[in-house]
Structure 1
Amino acid sequence: MTNVNLIRIYREQAGLPQADLGQAVGVTRQTIAAWEKGDREPSVVQLTQLAQALGVAVELLIPTAHDTSAPDDRGLMFRADEPQALTPQLKAALSRKADDYTFVEHLAGEVPTLPEMRPLEGYDAHVVEVVAREIRDWLGMGEGCPLGDAVALLEAKGLKVILHPLPEEISGFSGYTETSGASIFINASHPTERKFFTGLHELAHLIFHRQEYRRPNEKATRLDPREKVANHFAGAVLLPEEVIRRELYGYRNRWLPEPLLADMKRRYGVSMRTVLYRAAQAGLISQKQKGQQIGQLNKKYGADKEGIELPPIQHLTRLERIVFLALLKEEITISRAAEILGKPLPEVRESLNDWLEEMAD
């Protein structure tokens, strides 16, 4: 028996209207509504399609297969800026993804990674800037180089970065265990530059606030020093102080033209708002001007939009690579690979063939 409540819960967490979920599964909105009310049940095939569309394992839609009512103290320890959004069902789904990732890591002989802890009480801008420079070195990037694909760089260091459908207002979460390393979950529907920022924001929490992952989360506010630390760190890794000074010194104490902000967005993979924040942190513009320019962007584009969009992330993820290696060694089946990647079988086969052709070239 399918747990009809879980279909609704996971659909809402993914931010999918009933009509959009129905289109993904090949049924009408009314059918989705009937499933959620318990008036009808999906077939086994439809249940698999539902799980793929919702980005969760099939077993999580079957109530006897996974009890999400009680937390598992042995599992992933989470931290969330919005703890109420990390429901037991979502926690179960994310934990399952991290467990699957750890499973294929073990098959590939790859060692999970945890960044070095640098516990920080309160907010210290100098410490954040210093650690951000150290992390750029750790990621293999020079001081003046654009970071590029931050997600790919984090993956290259052995961090598990997982794109997952989340409510629009949630950017991401992070969790870890001492044995399986760190997992960073990023909202799959967010713009590219926001994904980069979120990955580094969550890395900051893993570095500065890891002692908090064992405690019950408290809701973070905009003025929370932990959020100031994480946001400052993400901006500093993407745009080091020497870069922002070099790029904008000629505009100090002047209005920063939008075409200039857009050009820096393209080259450094950051939002125009992050450029403004970094300019203010470097003392090149005033806090008042930063607020005025962000207000102008909000008025023109809305609070979460900007005039240009960066290309989507298109690299082969670390998870895809090690899943494909496991497939070639016949350590997992193609259906298990599709389940781990959360993709339909034909798409997995096509991606595998493309990867093999690329490797052959």
Structure 2
Amino acid sequence: MNNIAKKLRQAREQAGLTQAEAAKALGVVRELISLWESGKRSPSLAHLRDLARLYGVEEESMFSKDALQPIQSRGLLLRGATLSSPSRLELGRWLDFLDSWADFLNDLNEELKPLRRPPRTLDKGGDYTDRRSVSQLAEQVRAHYNLGLDALPDLYAFLDDLGVIVYRAPLGPLSESKISGAFYNHPQLGWSVLVNVNTTPGRQAFTLAHEFAHALYHYRTQGIISRSNEKPPKERFADAWAAHFLVPGKAIRDQLRKLNDDPKVRGPFQALWLARYFRVSYNTMLIRLRSERLIDQSTYDEWRFYSVSDLAQRLGLPVEDYKVPEDKMAGNWNLRRYPLSVLEKSRRAIEDRLISVAEVAAVLDVDRTTLEIDLLSLPKKGPTESQVREAREFEDVLPF
């Protein structure tokens, strides 16, 4: 048995994983893990990197004769955590990217201006959990960022513009992984948020708001994994704050008054229409209606068992908006996991010849061909038929 084979077995056992669990995380058969650990087969460099992430050890220590070296940044989030092996691997990819991105910006001599704590007028000390004030606090944040009290814009874009690094990852359905997202106050980059994309768009919006609450009020806790089945005080506070931030009580009442004039939208259809308006899940809207005493407990208990897909179909709304996206973004090559600001900065660095395509591919953990096709290639020329038709229509009225 060679040295790498011994290290692989040792690292897996230290991580408390079985061969079957490791195989599931990497998407290979268990027998292949066994062959690697017996020295009969050698893992590729890509597989070796993923194994090191999964086990939480430095990749270089797999090759040395010295003891395995744990990845220090993993301790804040992963040490002692009970996670599925796929979730552990994806969290490792996220943390690896943050470290690589910080190095990338330093290599470009970029001045890092990380968000580490909220503006002074919003700062509650970094360890705040009093849920009685969530409505007032949510309004303060909306006012500070000029968001008004109506439906919020795209939260992915809002947080990216704010300077929060938002990363998408397929952590598996909540029924399996139990993880909706995570917050990490990175030593060099500051606030970073991870969102589980194996959830509905409405649930992703709630996760973004929930992790934003951690950033604003719990930044002293450097890393937090948000689990759907665990509700300590910080999680309960973040849930309550997110609900009020996404759906202010006054805005609900204003929209309900308008809906009451439409005889076609009644009962649970009103809840779904409001959920679509505020870009939240049906369940989130039911909870807000109940907490604002706009429906009673018995109505809440009745409405929450309706099929959301059936309600949407009857209202003529896209059913897909209320389902988990079919594209699971499997693998580690998909550029859609990164925020627009990261992709644009990467593109500009390559175009300005500040860094090579291969170096950026390594930072973003994609192969060079994927990077060139999905990030660097220009849009296809030639308008579509609908573009041509629309252009001709407007030619008759220009200028206007």
Report deviation, 1:18: 4.2
Pick the aligned partner of 2:245 from 234, 237, 241: 237
Equivalences for 1:322-341 in 2 at 5 Å?
322-341=345-364
Deviations 1:204-247 (A, max 9, x none): 12222233348x99999755332221011112222122222222
Larger displacement relative to structure 2 (104-113 or 196-205) = 104-113
For 2:293, what is the secondary structure of its paired residue? coil
For 1:210, what is the secondary structure of its paired residue? coil
Q: TM-score, normalised by structure 2?
A: 0.65
Deviations 1:296-316 (A, max 9, x none): 559x99xxx998338788996
Deviations 1:264-292 (A, max 9, x none): 33333211001111112222123443344
Equivalences for 1:169-248 in 2 at 5 Å?
169-177=178-186, 179-213=188-222, 224-248=232-256
| Cα separation, 1, equivalents of 2:146 and 2:17 | 39
Residue identity over aligned pairs, in percent, reads 17
For 2:304, what is the secondary structure of its paired residue? helix
Report deviation, 1:97: 1.8
Taking a change above 3 Å as real, the CA distance of residues 326 and 288 of structure 1, as seen in their structure-2 partners, is farther
Larger displacement relative to structure 2 (272-281 or 113-122) = 113-122
Q: State the partner residue of 1:123.
A: 130
| Cα separation, 2, equivalents of 1:266 and 1:307 | 9
| Cα separation, 2, equivalents of 1:217 and 1:147 | 25
| Cα separation, 2, equivalents of 1:286 and 1:306 | 29
Taking a change above 3 Å as real, the CA distance of residues 19 and 266 of structure 1, as seen in their structure-2 partners, is same
Q: State the partner residue of 1:114.
A: 116
Report deviation, 1:202: 1.4
Does residue 352 in structure 1 map to residue 361 in structure 2? no
Taking a change above 3 Å as real, the CA distance of residues 113 and 55 of structure 1, as seen in their structure-2 partners, is same
Does residue 280 in structure 1 map to residue 278 in structure 2? no
Taking a change above 3 Å as real, the CA distance of residues 223 and 10 of structure 1, as seen in their structure-2 partners, is closer
Report deviation, 1:324: 1.6
Taking a change above 3 Å as real, the CA distance of residues 135 and 294 of structure 1, as seen in their structure-2 partners, is same
Report deviation, 1:34: 4.3
Are the equivalent residues in 2 in contact too, given 1:297–1:306 (CA < 8 A)?
A: no
Q: State the partner residue of 2:142.
A: 136
- Alignment length, in residue pairs? 336
Taking a change above 3 Å as real, the CA distance of residues 350 and 110 of structure 1, as seen in their structure-2 partners, is farther
For 1:212, what is the secondary structure of its paired residue? coil
Taking a change above 3 Å as real, the CA distance of residues 338 and 134 of structure 1, as seen in their structure-2 partners, is farther
Are the equivalent residues in 1 in contact too, given 2:246–2:278 (CA < 8 A)?
A: yes
| Cα separation, 2, equivalents of 1:228 and 1:262 | 24
* AA in 1 matched with 2:300: K
* AA in 2 matched with 1:309: K
Q: State the partner residue of 1:266.
A: 276
* AA in 2 matched with 1:272: Y
Q: TM-score, normalised by structure 1?
A: 0.71
| Cα separation, 2, equivalents of 1:64 and 1:282 | 56
Report deviation, 1:60: 5.4
| Cα separation, 1, equivalents of 2:113 and 2:379 | 27
| Cα separation, 2, equivalents of 1:335 and 1:164 | 23
Does residue 308 in structure 1 map to residue 331 in structure 2? no
Larger displacement relative to structure 2 (225-234 or 329-338) = 329-338
| Cα separation, 1, equivalents of 2:50 and 2:71 | 24
For 1:118, what is the secondary structure of its paired residue? coil
Deviations 1:99-128 (A, max 9, x none): 123234443545222341324654333x21
CA RMSD across the alignment: 4.7
For 1:343, what is the secondary structure of its paired residue? coil
| Cα separation, 1, equivalents of 2:51 and 2:198 | 13
Are the equivalent residues in 2 in contact too, given 1:10–1:90 (CA < 8 A)?
A: no
* AA in 2 matched with 1:48: A
Pick the aligned partner of 2:27 from 9, 21, 32: 21
Are the equivalent residues in 1 in contact too, given 2:168–2:194 (CA < 8 A)?
A: yes
| Cα separation, 1, equivalents of 2:31 and 2:17 | 14
Deviations 1:65-103 (A, max 9, x none): 79886563xx588469x9433998776544322112323
